[in-house]
């Protein structure tokens, strides 16, 4: 039989053990359910959303155009080739305006590029350096080119030039084929550049003072103003070319990438704001 005094000590020890066990279990539950505070770096807390980069814009006293992604903007220049007998002369000039480049495609937006011939609409040789740079500026190749016209706006159309080595527009014998067409070294239908022209109104007879269907654009017409004096200083040239001096390297008709570039060039010209 346990003495009475030991019973009190045992009861006290049992109570103490029970309290210690309860406290231990409560501490473990608190540790398991605790959620540590979220760490946030000073950089993350102070960061602000990045703003979109401003688009590249070309602007002069006549036109304003936003340069699409994928195209680069630079100053335009061109080399004019002239054949005189057996001699070849090349002259390079820089002209006012914008040159947009994507790959080997070049879109010229020349807001101050007029003719020197005095012929209404100009001559092909006056823009050939910006359309088909492998052609002589005095070239008669324009007579052998098949032009295809696509309407872009109510006032502008795009003219795509194609040269078919087997069936030129003017039928000639092989010996008479003009060397100044570039003489592609392979057969095919080659793209010989494109230019934009003013769409002639649907009239039985186009008024003589309407500068349409030519190689140059007339600035007053595009802004809705009538000018009695159709000076060359009011003319512009928009054209799409390919960076090569060998026509055999130029794209062929039906090329998917060519069609994509033609569509993009038309979209850019269509987006131009005139002042």
pLDDT in tens, 183-192: 788 899 999 9
* pLDDT at position 40: 47
251 pLDDT more than 70: yes
What is the C-alpha to C-alpha distance for residues 65 and 67, in angstroms, rounded to an integer?
6
Taking alpha carbons only, the member of 59, 156, 43, 172 closest to residue 111 is 59
Number of domains in the chain: 1
| Domain contains 7 | no
| Domain contains 28 | no
| Domain contains 39 | no
In sequence order, which residues have a C-beta less than 8 Å from that of residue 77 and are 6 or more positions away? 92, 93, 94, 95, 99
Average pLDDT of 195-214?
70
| Domain contains 101 | yes
Q: Which two tokens stand for residue 150?
A: 């696509």
**Comparing 3 with 216, which gets the higher pLDDT?**
216
* pLDDT tens digits for range 160-170: 999 998 877 77
Domain range enclosing 268: 57-274
Average pLDDT of 202-213?
57
| Domain contains 108 | yes
| Domain contains 15 | no
**Comparing 200 with 196, which gets the higher pLDDT?**
196
Is 0.85 topped by the overall pTM? no
| Domain contains 179 | yes
* pLDDT tens digits for range 5-57: 444 444 444 444 444 454 455 454 444 444 444 444 444 444 555 555 667 99
203 pLDDT more than 70: no
* pLDDT at position 85: 64
| Domain contains 138 | yes
**Which residue has 């209404």 as its token pair?**
120
What is the C-alpha to C-alpha distance for residues 233 and 59, in angstroms, rounded to an integer?
18
């Amino acid at each position: 039989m346990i003495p009475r005094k030991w019973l009190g000590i045992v009861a006290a020890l049992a109570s103490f053990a029970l309290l210690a066990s309860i406290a231990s279990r409560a501490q473990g539950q608190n540790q398991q359910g605790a959620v540590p505070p979220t760490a946030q770096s000073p950089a993350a807390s102070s960061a602000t959303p990045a703003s979109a980069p401003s688009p590249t814009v070309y602007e002069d006293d006549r036109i304003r155009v936003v340069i699409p992604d994928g195209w680069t903007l630079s100053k335009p220049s061109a080399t004019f080739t002239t054949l005189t007998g057996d001699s070849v002369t090349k002259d390079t000039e820089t002209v006012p305006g914008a040159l947009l480049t994507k790959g080997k495609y070049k879109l010229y937006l020349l807001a101050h590029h007029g003719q020197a011939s005095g012929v209404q609409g100009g001559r092909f040789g006056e823009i050939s350096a910006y359309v088909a740079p492998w052609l002589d500026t005095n070239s008669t190749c324009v007579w052998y080119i098949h032009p295809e016209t696509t309407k872009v706006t109510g006032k502008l159309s795009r003219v795509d030039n194609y040269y078919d080595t087997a069936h030129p527009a003017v039928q000639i014998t092989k010996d008479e084929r003009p060397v100044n067409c570039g003489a592609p070294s392979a057969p095919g239908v080659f793209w010989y550049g494109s230019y934009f022209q003013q769409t002639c109104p649907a009239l039985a007879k186009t008024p003589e003072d309407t500068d349409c269907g030519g190689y140059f654009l007339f600035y007053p017409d595009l802004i809705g103003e009538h000018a009695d004096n159709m000076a060359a200083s009011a003319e512009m040239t928009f054209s799409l070319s390919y960076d090569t001096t060998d026509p055999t390297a130029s794209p062929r008709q039906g090329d998917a990438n060519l069609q994509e570039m033609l569509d993009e060039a038309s979209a850019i010209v269509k987006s131009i704001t005139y002042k």
